[in-house]
Structure 1
Amino acid sequence: MAKVTGKAYDVNLLKRVFRYVKPYKTIFIWSMILTVALAAIAPLRPLLIEYTVDKYILNNNKEGLINMTLIMLVLLFLQAIIQYYHTYLTNTLGQSTIRDLRINVFNHIGSLKLRFFDKTPIGQLITRTVSDLETIADIFSEGLIMIAGDILQLITILAVMLYSDWKLTLIVLIPMPLLVFASYVFKEAIKSAFQEVRTQVGLLNTFLQEHITGMSITQYFARENQEMHKFKQINARHRDANIRSNWYYSIFFPVVEIISAFSIGLLVWYGSKSIIDHDTSPGVIMAFIMYINMMFRPIRELADKFNTLQMGMVGADRIFTVLDTHDEEENKGTFKGERIRGAISFKDVWFAYNDDQWVLKNINFEVEPGQTLALVGATGAGKSSVINILNRFYQIGRGSIEIDEKNIRDYDLGYLRSQIGTVIQDVFLFSDSIANNITLSNTKISREAVEAAAREAGADEFISRLPGGYDYDVMERGATLSAGQAQLISFIRAMVYNPSILVLDEATSSVDTETEILIQQTLQKLMKGRTSIVIAHRLSTIQNADKIIVLDKGEIKEMGSHQQLLQQNGYYKRLFDLQFNSSGIEKSTLG
């Protein structure tokens, strides 16, 4: 795609941005009409003042002076009304555009697979969807339309000045090359400074997001001072970038004022001589003073507005880079059935998170509908990876995965995942009510179904004791609940969606014994008639599974029932002996 590389604007990027303007074409047209109107009105006041001075003030005509004053007040009132609607419409256009664009970006990010999030800092995505998008709004409120208005106003004023007195106009334009040169230098310098500011904003957001989320780790290991030192360094670079951009402004604006004063000085020198020689009138000189201020203002601001446009381009480039990010495998499947039976087949499956660093190697197994498959092995053996590729969070490298004898790539992605209920060890709860965390705001799931599932899981009692019950706000990441309570809520979440395939990824490893008993009792009911895949550290929880697969370094070492694997006296037997003493009492868990 087109990149912003030193140009004040990029046509291809603007075209892409303007696709989001189409629904607001009427607002855009009216904004341009008002822009032209403001440019046309701009030279009227100086003209009226010139006429008033020459025709009424010099002739001591008080009545005419009062009439012209009233006309100018009406003109000022009209100009204020037009300016109000112009500002309102341009800001409405910008905010409406980025609202639609932000929805599109958020929707696109939600469609990306986990591989993208593995490589992209969350803070960077927050910067893209918030502050970078705001710079695109500035394209309309302070950039493109305002630039067009300033150029039109400049052309109009110059035309009126040349018509009034072309010699005087050429005199006051003598310093203009200096202003153009200063504006160009400023534009290039401030563009580089703004890009650095945007970079530092992204780094600052990333650092804050990671460290606020992981604050408990920082405090557990007493790393507050060290992390504060890192933050000070990042914050200092952010400060320096902003100071550098402000420094360019502090130089540029005084230079413009000096050049403007020089132009007015030339006007006074030449204009006084012209008045003495009766080549011009005092009214023209007064009008020209206003013209100079009105002419220098847009020229002075053009450099700033071009950089506002430039920053909008940088923001647009970053946003469209995210929108142009596509997974290697898109959701091309379209198959949807009423309900899958739950037959699962892995055929020669190889999978790697990074290139050819295989996490799973030549995985082959089958699960019949209604059966329970257990995956065991040490940390890093590849157990969770099996779940990730079954849900199509990642694309496999070789082989195929089938559900009900149909390749999972042929399924509609949303339908496929709706048929697989997953309870994971690292429970994530949103800052919302318990009921909404269970249903994920799915209006098709009734409150009665939620409460029934909670009663079945034995969680209704603790939920009812909370202030507000099912409407209790669990706060961010479920901070006000215990690990066992949060795990129960995620378990109920899977129950109310009534999946055909149930996945339990370390689902009871972080709960207390009492809560685990509740879950085990509910599991017997929930797993009945469903295909289930269970990952557990505790072998005691999967001894009744129809099939147990032992994974080690991404390979299947053994496969069979609990008793069959014990009789083989192999890898599973060693894992079992690690957890149980000679009396058969569980003594530890795997990592």
Structure 2
Amino acid sequence: MGLTGKKLFQYALIFKRPILFALLLLALAVSTELLGPYIAKTMIDQNIEGIEKGWREVPANGPNAVYYDGKWYKRADRIAPGDRPGASASVLQVGRSYYWLSGTLPLDGKREVEGGKLTITAADGQTAEYTVKPLSRSEVYGFYKPEIPRLLMMAGAYFALLALAACFTYGQRLLLQTSANRIVQRMREDVFAHIQRLPVGYFDNLPAGKVVSRVTNDTEAVRELFVAVLANFFAGIIYIAATMGALFLLDTKLALIALPLLPLLVVWIVVYRRFAGKYNTVIRSKLSDINAMINESIQGMPIIQAFRRQKSTAKEFDELNEEFFSYQSKLLSLNSLTSHNLVNVIRNIIFIIVLWMFWGDSLEAVVSVGVLYAFIEYMNRMFQPIVGIVNQLANLETARVSAGRVFELLDQPGTDVTSGTMPRYRGEVAFENVSFAYNNNDYVLRDISFHARQGETVALVGHTGSGKSSVLNLLFRFYDIEEGRITVDGKDIRDIPKQLLRQHMGIVLQDPFLFTGTIASNISLDTPGMTRERIEQALRDVGAYDMFMALPGGLDHPVIEKGSTLSAGQRQLISFARALAHDPAILILDEATASIDTETEAVIQAALDVLKKGRTTFVIAHRLSTIRAADQILVLDRGRIVESGNHDTLMLRGGKYYAMYQLQSGVSPSPSGSGSGSATAPIPVPSTT
């Protein structure tokens, strides 16, 4: 079964009751349907061909009696105990004509009638001659007439069984497919929920388009596995097993002819999976690559068009698409080679073998016409599920590969979401000899130590790649350290569940992310207990209430993906209000005012001073003029803190910070800091991770 098969089976066990009931209905449907050929065989052998079973003279009219030539006759197998049968007679069919023979027919074989004489030639060459009388149509009908009620009754039973089988089949398919959809619904919920638990680092090397492909395309392929593939396989296995049983009950020799089909089908499936599995693995991977490229191209469309990259981007896409097409073509060729046409060839070969074995004068002596008809009917019915199984092999392999990709994602270690709440901590943060590397020993932070007291503003400055954002990533526990220690209020953050730690943290990024919804929902993030008044007050505090109330719909103005219909300043103000509304104890401002124009920045400067009160604020800033009032300024260079202190202290030192400030301002400022302004502190939203 394999690991993937076991996990799929575990998902199926969630809905085992409706699935088992569906399989019961399937077994009933198959059993009911398989009675049809047996009824047809009985109708042929007993009611239609039964006219030749021999007749006996009876003294008077009665049930099943036929009047012929002044006498009453009954079929030998219809004689009742009180009928007192007399002389024997036979009704014989030669070609399309019927004849009356007084007496029985001890020798049978090839029949020929000429001049009222019937000549029988047996298979061993022995011949016999009998005197017969031709029967008219009305006389033949008279001999068939007693069988008509039985024929009608059995025909009615045949159609009743078909109707009953249809009802069972309907119930089975409804239950099985509903259960399949439920299974995939649960799987998608699990995948999406697990994505929320995955560490941020997992997404560093996996494009968003590939993740989306696993949640949508791959789970859809798994849905096909439960809805179509397993339904056909279950039905096929039950149908084939029941049909083989019926064939053995019908005729052992004929059943042995059909028996090699089973190992042939197993070999067929094994060989197909060996090749199809390789193709499907590449196909699903290429499909993910295509989705990732489409996602990347849509997000980067302004850059693509601005730098006239349309042709080169289209060429890259065509190369991916061509490779995807080539493997699809290989799979198509394999499917065509092993399709239902090959099944039909095998079926016809079996029929030829049967005709070759029983062809000739001895056919009727070996098997009856009804048995032969039932065999052909059973074989046709058995090949239907075989065709269904073969046709689903492609979907089976696609689903198997897709399920493996889904379970690969689900097997990634994640962080369980912690329920409950944590009392708001003071926000006193300490880094103690922290070193960190994203990959192996390629350290981005080395021996970082500092202490941020409650209510202080700590600014991190340095060149690109110096490690500023990494410090805050560790504080948020987007990544966990292996060397050193980080504490909040004296407690190691590794001892605090991530969700509870982030409950009292807020962050404002340089490029704020807005969700599809409304302005109000983007501020509250649907946090329980967040009132409308609190949302409005947060907007007033950042000076944006009147701006957003002027929009159509006010705070209920729709926001589409990423807030692309809003200006950069409006998006940032929403991000500030989001952070303020959640009242974090620790506030992270990652270059939060960089994308805001000078006029908008002036509007929120006063709000920032209010926002920082009672909160520990970390500011990443490239414009050094915005962090002059910070309590601590940490200067990072190649992952190390090379200088620390306030603005005046660092300016007096004349070191790296002094050089950076002088480079930005173009003049050497007074170390007194008389021109210092309020430190820029944006308003973050607490992470709900």
TM-score for the superposition, normalised by structure 1 = 0.91
Q: Does 1:85 align with 2:171?
A: yes
- Higher alpha-carbon deviation: 164-173 or 370-379: 164-173
| 8 Å contact from structure 1 (residues 368, 531) kept in 2 | yes
| 8 Å contact from structure 2 (residues 181, 223) kept in 1 | yes
Aligned equivalent of 1:153, options 239, 264, 268? 239
1:555: which partner in 2?
A: 640
2:369: which partner in 1?
A: 282
Is the alpha carbon distance of 1:399 and 1:183 closer, same or farther for their aligned partners in structure 2, counting shifts above 3 Å?
Answer: closer
**Partners of 2:336 and 2:418 in 1: how far apart?**
58
Aligned equivalent of 2:541, options 449, 456, 469? 456
Shift of 1:498: 0.6
Is the alpha carbon distance of 1:175 and 1:372 closer, same or farther for their aligned partners in structure 2, counting shifts above 3 Å?
Answer: closer
**Partners of 2:533 and 2:48 in 1: how far apart?**
84
Aligned residues: 575
1:374: which partner in 2?
A: 459
2:110: which partner in 1?
A: none
Is the alpha carbon distance of 1:178 and 1:387 closer, same or farther for their aligned partners in structure 2, counting shifts above 3 Å?
Answer: closer
Q: Give the secondary-structure state (helix, strand or coil) at the position aligned to 1:17.
A: helix
Shift of 1:570: 1.2
Deviations 1:51-77, CA, capped at 9 Å, x for gaps? 222333445444333333322222222
- Higher alpha-carbon deviation: 494-503 or 460-469: 460-469
Q: Does 1:572 align with 2:657?
A: yes
Is the alpha carbon distance of 1:139 and 1:476 closer, same or farther for their aligned partners in structure 2, counting shifts above 3 Å?
Answer: same
**Partners of 1:464 and 1:378 in 2: how far apart?**
40
1:395: which partner in 2?
A: 480
Aligned equivalent of 2:149, options 46, 59, 63? 63
Rg larger for: 2
**Partners of 1:275 and 1:286 in 2: how far apart?**
16
| 8 Å contact from structure 2 (residues 422, 503) kept in 1 | no
2:594: which partner in 1?
A: 509
2:410: which partner in 1?
A: 323
2:206: which partner in 1?
A: 120
| 8 Å contact from structure 1 (residues 94, 136) kept in 2 | no
Structure 2: which 5+ runs fail to align? 52-143, 670-674, 677-689
Is the alpha carbon distance of 1:63 and 1:195 closer, same or farther for their aligned partners in structure 2, counting shifts above 3 Å?
Answer: farther
Aligned equivalent of 2:21, options 13, 26, 30? 30
Q: Does 1:360 align with 2:414?
A: no
2:98: which partner in 1?
A: none
Is the alpha carbon distance of 1:174 and 1:411 closer, same or farther for their aligned partners in structure 2, counting shifts above 3 Å?
Answer: closer
Is the alpha carbon distance of 1:173 and 1:353 closer, same or farther for their aligned partners in structure 2, counting shifts above 3 Å?
Answer: closer
Shift of 1:494: 0.6
2:582: which partner in 1?
A: 497
Q: Give the secondary-structure state (helix, strand or coil) at the position aligned to 1:229.
A: helix
**Partners of 2:352 and 2:11 in 1: how far apart?**
48
Is the alpha carbon distance of 1:217 and 1:153 closer, same or farther for their aligned partners in structure 2, counting shifts above 3 Å?
Answer: same
**Partners of 1:504 and 1:565 in 2: how far apart?**
22
Shift of 1:473: 2.1
| 8 Å contact from structure 1 (residues 172, 267) kept in 2 | no
Superposition pairs of residues 90-489 of structure 1, within 5 angstroms: 90-144=176-230, 146-171=232-257, 182=268, 184-252=270-338, 253-270=340-357, 273=360, 276-305=363-392, 308-326=395-413, 337-489=422-574
Shift of 1:527: 0.7
**Partners of 1:542 and 1:335 in 2: how far apart?**
36
Shift of 1:440: 1.4
**Partners of 2:397 and 2:385 in 1: how far apart?**
17
Is the alpha carbon distance of 1:464 and 1:46 closer, same or farther for their aligned partners in structure 2, counting shifts above 3 Å?
Answer: same
**Partners of 2:341 and 2:416 in 1: how far apart?**
57
- 1:393 is aligned with what amino acid? F
**Partners of 2:234 and 2:571 in 1: how far apart?**
56
**Partners of 2:337 and 2:17 in 1: how far apart?**
40
1:5: which partner in 2?
A: none
Structure 1: which 5+ runs fail to align? 1-8, 587-591
- 2:369 is aligned with what amino acid? P
1:546: which partner in 2?
A: 631
Is the alpha carbon distance of 1:274 and 1:225 closer, same or farther for their aligned partners in structure 2, counting shifts above 3 Å?
Answer: farther
Aligned equivalent of 2:6, options 15, 32, 53? 15
Is the alpha carbon distance of 1:503 and 1:272 closer, same or farther for their aligned partners in structure 2, counting shifts above 3 Å?
Answer: same
**Partners of 1:333 and 1:199 in 2: how far apart?**
34
**Partners of 1:194 and 1:208 in 2: how far apart?**
21
Q: Give the secondary-structure state (helix, strand or coil) at the position aligned to 1:43.
A: helix
Shift of 1:559: 1.0
Shift of 1:583: 8.6
- Higher alpha-carbon deviation: 361-370 or 84-93: 84-93
2:683: which partner in 1?
A: none
| 8 Å contact from structure 1 (residues 336, 412) kept in 2 | no
Q: Give the secondary-structure state (helix, strand or coil) at the position aligned to 1:511.
A: coil
| 8 Å contact from structure 2 (residues 43, 154) kept in 1 | yes
Shift of 1:16: 2.8
- 2:46 is aligned with what amino acid? K
Q: Does 1:518 align with 2:612?
A: no
Structure with bigger helix share is 1
| 8 Å contact from structure 2 (residues 37, 377) kept in 1 | yes
| 8 Å contact from structure 2 (residues 277, 401) kept in 1 | no
**Partners of 2:616 and 2:258 in 1: how far apart?**
86
**Partners of 2:209 and 2:281 in 1: how far apart?**
17
**Partners of 2:197 and 2:446 in 1: how far apart?**
27
- 2:403 is aligned with what amino acid? A
| 8 Å contact from structure 1 (residues 360, 385) kept in 2 | yes
- 2:277 is aligned with what amino acid? K
- Higher alpha-carbon deviation: 294-303 or 489-498: 294-303
| 8 Å contact from structure 1 (residues 424, 507) kept in 2 | yes
Deviations 1:274-296, CA, capped at 9 Å, x for gaps? 77543322222222221111222
Is the alpha carbon distance of 1:83 and 1:126 closer, same or farther for their aligned partners in structure 2, counting shifts above 3 Å?
Answer: same
**Partners of 2:622 and 2:523 in 1: how far apart?**
25
Identity, in percent, stands at: 36
Is the alpha carbon distance of 1:408 and 1:336 closer, same or farther for their aligned partners in structure 2, counting shifts above 3 Å?
Answer: farther
